[in-house]
Chains A and B, each alone.
Chain A
Amino acid sequence: MHRFIRFSILLMGLFAASSSYSADAALEPLTTADDLGPAIEQPIEFPHNRHAGLRNPNDPSNSDPLKGGMEINCMYCHTYARRGSVAGIPPLQKCIGCHQNIESVRETPRIKKLFEYWEAKKPVPWKKVHDLPDFVRFNHERHIKRFVFQQNRPVQEVCGACHGDVKTMTVARRQKSLAMGWCVSCHEKDHVVAAAGGMPVGSQAYWYSFKKPALNGAGVAVAKGPNDCSSCHY
């Protein structure tokens, strides 16, 4: 009799503990192991590495595609990221703007294709690589403003937090799970509010949805991201 009861209590305790633990374990840290999305075929196989990749010191002229990139800022092309909810694909105009002056690669198949589109005045039908469900309202502007401008972090690091190290890829490919738990894991962390060299901000009180910044152990003002359902779902 008693044994029976003790046993059942033990079982319940075990369940509570294990589920609680596993739930905790389900929370991934900010920088996660990559969770690769499918490789996606694009109309033009755009080489991110060539554009955003680091320069090759031994090759100042930067002639050889295989050796290095141009270190172009992400937001030079994805210019809407700091202005709107979507980062946006640059208008064809922009690609041509540079490439009409780069004779060296003018005859390569990709660039030929590019110019075909341009002459036909048809937008390139790029495929979405990071496509969130329609009930999720992710806003690029806020994240860029928050981490690039206000906290003065390098652009590629900030973008990379969600998009992975794009400068090493050719065609971009999803690197992170982008599942809700993954977003939350970051929103629940304390982030430094403002860093040296960062854009000065007004009254801190109103910066983070209804959670006033607090001082962390080191005496630096830190704050969490918004956590209302209706911040992202409406």
Chain B
Amino acid sequence: MSVSNLLENWAEFRHTHPVNDVPHDPYKWAMSIDLDACTGCNACSVACYAENNIPVVGRDKFQHGQVMHWMRIERYWPEDGRDFPDQGATFLPMMCQQCEAAPCETVCPVGATNHTADGLNSQAYNRCVGSRYCSANCPFKVRYFNWYDYPTTENVWPAEMTQQLNPDITLRSKGVMEKCTFCVQRIRAGERAVKNEGRILRDGEVQTACQQVCPSGAITFGNLVDPESKVHQKWKAQRVELNADEQEKDKEEGGTDLRGYRILEELRPYPSVMYMERVRESAI
């Protein structure tokens, strides 16, 4: 690839969030998570372990904060200073937000993490040199580094358990960064399948592992530019704009009965995940 080539393809290579004249087409993968439905049962997290060959690091490494869970369930207490959390807790599944203007992408010295045209924040493990700048610059801290060579670490995958590993995904070795990929292997497989029919994916044809398993159906995943898709309708109903950094909800007029929001939006990473507030009964 020559300098000329580099210059030609720079825009593409450095594809960030779409300005209105260049919308995502035909895909923009996005998510919507309803905190009112989420019960914090951790099924999604386990599904992620199962689907994505995530190593179980064990007690000591967990203690050192070297755990690898791509999807973590956070538990927040109401901060009203009462003796008991008598309105329960709020659970929040937190995974890579697949930001449109991802802070991690611009800083990677080797371009190992960059934006795909279908709006994913992809991570090329074999290009990563392990500078960890991406993680340093991630506001959500959802990137996980392979501090050890987990595949060969004792009791991570004993011989029998290696048979469970998902062959569709690279097994990450020592010194590379990894994170939630929106189950890119499923997306790519789906795309290949429908390409043969010369059409695009319909809503529900590709499911992420977490969405598929969620007992209360709190997670919705799909193609945001497809008006038929659930995720599109949800975003629309909550009047959340992908390219906006302030939503209806936050504005004075109207929007007060909306629940949709994106976390740390004020930093303008333009996350692809919309959360919907947990509701609490006022009558009791």
- Which of A's residues lie within 8 Å of B, judged by CB? 16, 20-21, 23-24, 27, 133-135, 137, 139, 141-142, 145, 184, 201-207, 209-210, 227-231, 233-234
CB distance from B129 to the nearest CB of A (A): 14
Number of interface residues of B (CB under 8 A): 37
Evaluate contact between A23 and B1: CB separation under 8 angstroms: yes
Closest to A234 in B: B184
Closest to A205 in B: B26
Evaluate contact between B1 and A27: CB separation under 8 angstroms: yes
Q: Contacts of A230 on B, CB cut-off 8 Å? A: 116, 120, 122-124, 181, 184, 188
B1-14: contact bitstring with A at CB < 8 Å (1 yes, 0 no)?
11111000100100
CB distance from B52 to the nearest CB of A (A): 10
Evaluate contact between A142 and B195: CB separation under 8 angstroms: yes
Q: Can you sample 21 A-B contacts with CB below 8 Å?
A: A20-B4, A21-B2, A23-B3, A24-B1, A24-B2, A27-B1, A141-B196, A142-B192, A145-B195, A206-B199, A209-B118, A210-B26, A227-B12, A228-B116, A228-B122, A229-B122, A230-B116, A230-B122, A230-B184, A233-B127, A234-B188
Closest to A21 in B: B2
Closest to B121 in A: A230
Q: Contacts of B197 on A, CB cut-off 8 Å? A: 202
Given contacts A135-B126, A145-B196, A229-B124, contact A234 B169 (CB under 8 A): yes
Evaluate contact between B188 and A135: CB separation under 8 angstroms: no
Evaluate contact between B117 and A233: CB separation under 8 angstroms: no
Interface residues of B in 185-208 (CB under 8 A from A): 185, 188, 191-192, 194-200
A139 CA / B185 CA spacing, docked (Å): 12
Evaluate contact between B170 and A234: CB separation under 8 angstroms: yes
Q: Contacts of A206 on B, CB cut-off 8 Å? A: 26, 194-195, 198-200
Given contacts A228-B122, A233-B170, A234-B185, contact A202 B192 (CB under 8 A): no
CB distance from B201 to the nearest CB of A (A): 9
Evaluate contact between A135 and B125: CB separation under 8 angstroms: yes
CB distance from A83 to the nearest CB of B (A): 10
Q: Contacts of B117 on A, CB cut-off 8 Å? A: 209-210, 228
Q: Contacts of A141 on B, CB cut-off 8 Å? A: 192, 196
- Which of B's residues lie within 8 Å of A, judged by CB? 1-5, 9, 12, 25-26, 114, 116-118, 120, 122-127, 168-171, 181, 184-185, 188, 191-192, 194-200
Name, among A137, A145, A184, the residue most crowded by chain B CB atoms within 10 Å (CB to CB). A137
Evaluate contact between A203 and B199: CB separation under 8 angstroms: yes
Q: Contacts of A20 on B, CB cut-off 8 Å? A: 2-4
Evaluate contact between B199 and A202: CB separation under 8 angstroms: yes
Closest to B26 in A: A206
Closest to B125 in A: A135
Q: Using A228-B116, A230-B124, A231-B188 as known contacts, list a sample of 10 further A-B pairs with CB atoms less than 8 Å apart, ordered by residue number in A.
A: A20-B3, A20-B4, A23-B2, A133-B126, A135-B125, A137-B168, A141-B196, A206-B198, A209-B191, A230-B122
A233 CA / B197 CA spacing, docked (Å): 24
Q: Contacts of B181 on A, CB cut-off 8 Å? A: 230, 234
Evaluate contact between A229 and B26: CB separation under 8 angstroms: no
Q: Contacts of A209 on B, CB cut-off 8 Å? A: 117-118, 191
A204 CA / B197 CA spacing, docked (Å): 11
Q: Contacts of B26 on A, CB cut-off 8 Å? A: 205-206, 210
Closest to A202 in B: B198
CB distance from B161 to the nearest CB of A (A): 18
A44 CA / B181 CA spacing, docked (Å): 42
A145 CA / B198 CA spacing, docked (Å): 11
CB distance from B278 to the nearest CB of A (A): 33
Evaluate contact between A210 and B188: CB separation under 8 angstroms: no
Q: Contacts of B127 on A, CB cut-off 8 Å? A: 229, 233
Q: Contacts of A204 on B, CB cut-off 8 Å? A: 198
Evaluate contact between B188 and A229: CB separation under 8 angstroms: no
Q: Contacts of B168 on A, CB cut-off 8 Å? A: 137
Evaluate contact between B199 and A233: CB separation under 8 angstroms: no
Q: Contacts of B4 on A, CB cut-off 8 Å? A: 20
Q: Contacts of A23 on B, CB cut-off 8 Å? A: 1-3
Closest to A27 in B: B1
Evaluate contact between B124 and A233: CB separation under 8 angstroms: yes
Q: Contacts of A133 on B, CB cut-off 8 Å? A: 126
A203 CA / B197 CA spacing, docked (Å): 9
Name, among B12, B117, B168, B195, the residue most crowded by chain A CB atoms within 10 Å (CB to CB). B195
A209 CA / B26 CA spacing, docked (Å): 9
Q: Contacts of A24 on B, CB cut-off 8 Å? A: 1-2, 5
Q: Contacts of A134 on B, CB cut-off 8 Å? A: 170-171
Q: Contacts of B25 on A, CB cut-off 8 Å? A: 205, 210
A57 CA / B138 CA spacing, docked (Å): 68
Q: Contacts of B200 on A, CB cut-off 8 Å? A: 206
Evaluate contact between A233 and B195: CB separation under 8 angstroms: no
Q: Contacts of B5 on A, CB cut-off 8 Å? A: 24
